[in-house]
Structure 1
């Protein structure tokens, strides 16, 4: 079984979505895929999110909890980081490594079992492409719902390589994830959900991000 098949055995088509249920294989693939710069890149994502001490943060599609563990010391003991992922094995992996101010639950981004306006920041990295295309709008609306007015959103997704050969090699590992650019994947879903887009940009090793706000009124 190839690594791409192993990671994405519940996601045969980019628009159907699916889960990753092999956390150790995913961690290995992530370290390779980010060329040894994973910590650096996700630390930059944490900074872009605008998370501050005392914030309540939600990570939608938290996977193994890698980003939540970077955010945990930033929010300090007074803050809280909650991770949600549709894969029970990934959530269990995250729980075993959880700092004291992190908690995790199994759930889908398009149907969050969380209260309205309960978070200051919502982040989602490399997760939207795992949500079925028909449900991505609902997932963004759920992120809007659980953010307090004035709360901040950060979405990060894969940015396909422009080199055709490199794109083929990456596709062997990433499966359906790399078939669409972030612009094709997200379209106007973020503003359509009610967010005000602040900015967007690229990060090293094939990532793009969008930052947005839930309006205060």
Structure 2
């Protein structure tokens, strides 16, 4: 099957129409794009032609995922840490006036939308460019009035040395293992000297990877036949791509839902998990879907011996006590928290 990028770069939009629209809407980012990059059709054409699980629920879980991520702050704890690692700053106020971040696996702009609502990272200047392989994800990001471009991690449609930071997060395992070093190398190309690459995923053998391999692979429409990361692979891959001062470490990256009462907090977190991963329960005696999801969480996510104490006060005490999904009351209302730890590699371009 062939895919003509010139005629249909996004659903219903040619690449020339996209470029004109982008330049008109986001002129301060227009110079970062390299939509005519040589090899574009040969590399991206087959990738765009392949069915993508994030286009719609008919191809996987795209509609459900976008429904779940209307709540852009569910990953805010992790997003705040990733922005700090990518920029080397503790807030947007410390960023250089021309600093730009490329969020390569950005979906419908979850990171950019969360940043706009985080007190430390909100800014009147749009400084995050969202990228994704899915045309429908980019259409939704643009509908949110976010600068966004359809691309692949392996072939960035961006010019050399245009970004202060590049982020691979919330989907790095979708990059085939044999293409990861090439993806890091393309990130190296688009970074300015001194810029940072941050690669985020879940560690092989850890409880979160267990959730993907046991529950998501079994009950999501497209399964989850993806390889997560080891510390050694992540560090070696970034070094092979040319990065220096590489550090690999865990971060606490929970899913958090705020609600008016305990019932809504529980439903919020379980509905998020069900929608985000497209989970379908086919067991007739399982009761409600949310009860079934909660049961799967209890089986797969057990942090009691996983060292949550290393993250200090960033982990809510009810989660530290239970070691699993928790619903609890705070001064600002009720919270549902699904504990996750992620593995993050950070490297600098000399």
Displacement of 1:178 in angstroms is 5.9
Contact 2:201/2:228, CA 8 A, preserved across alignment: no
Q: Is the contact made by 1:30 and 1:38 (CA closer than 8 Å) also made in structure 2?
A: no
Alpha-carbon distance in 1 for matches of 2:128, 2:251: 25
Listed one character per residue, the Cα deviations across residues 133-181 of structure 1 (whole Å, up to 9, x for unaligned) are 3322211101000000000111111235449975512434493366433
Pairing 1:105–2:142 present:
no
Q: State the TM-score, normalized to the length of structure 1.
A: 0.73
Say if 1:189 and 1:163 are closer, same or farther in 2 by CA, change over 3 A. Answer: closer
Superposition deviation, residue 76 in structure 1? 2.8
Q: In 2, distance between residues paired with 1:116 and 1:212?
A: 17
The answer as to whether partners of 2:235 and 2:345 remain within 8 angstroms in 1 is: no
CA distance in 2, matches of 1:80, 1:95: 15
After superposition, residues 128-207 of structure 1 pair within 5 angstroms as 128-159=172-203, 161-162=206-207, 166=211, 167-171=213-217, 172-173=219-220, 175-176=223-224, 179-183=227-231, 186=234, 188-196=236-244, 197-204=246-253, 205-207=340-342
CA contact (8 A) 1:158 1:178 kept: no
Aligned-residue offset at 1:193: 0.5
Question: If each structure's strand is expressed as a fraction of its own residues, which one has the higher value?
Answer: 1
Runs of 5+ consecutive residues of structure 1 not aligned to the other structure: 1-17
Moved more, 141-150 or 126-135: 126-135
Q: Aligned match of 2:84 in 47, 51, 54?
A: 47
Q: How far apart, CA to CA, are the structure 2 residues paired with 1:37 and 1:200?
A: 22
Quote the Cα distance in structure 2 between the aligned partners of 1:146 and 1:39: 26
Do the aligned residues in 2 keep the contact of 1:129 with 1:177 (CA within 8 Å)? no
Structure whose alpha-carbon radius of gyration is higher: 2
For 2:79 and 2:127, the matched residues in 1 are separated by 18
Q: Deviations over 1:74-118 (max 9, x none)?
A: 3734452211111101111111113xxx41111111111211100
Q: Which moved more, 1:21-30 or 1:142-151?
A: 21-30
How many Å separate the matches in 1 of 2:242 and 2:184?
9
What is the aligned residue count? 194
For residues 184-211 of structure 1, the C-alpha deviation after alignment (integer angstroms, 9 at most, x for no partner) is 7636211110112134223241422111
CA distance in structure 1 between the partners assigned to 2:131 and 2:250 by the alignment: 25
Deviations 1:4-53 (A, max 9, x none): xxxxxxxxxxxxxx652234312456699xxx952322233223323543
The 2-side partners of 1:147 and 1:57 are apart by 9
- What displacement does 1:212 show? 1.4
Q: TM-score, normalised by structure 2?
A: 0.48
Mapped to 2, the partners of 1:27 and 1:177 lie a distance apart of: 21
Indicate the structure whose relative CO is greater, using CA pairs within 8 Å and at least 6 residues apart: 1
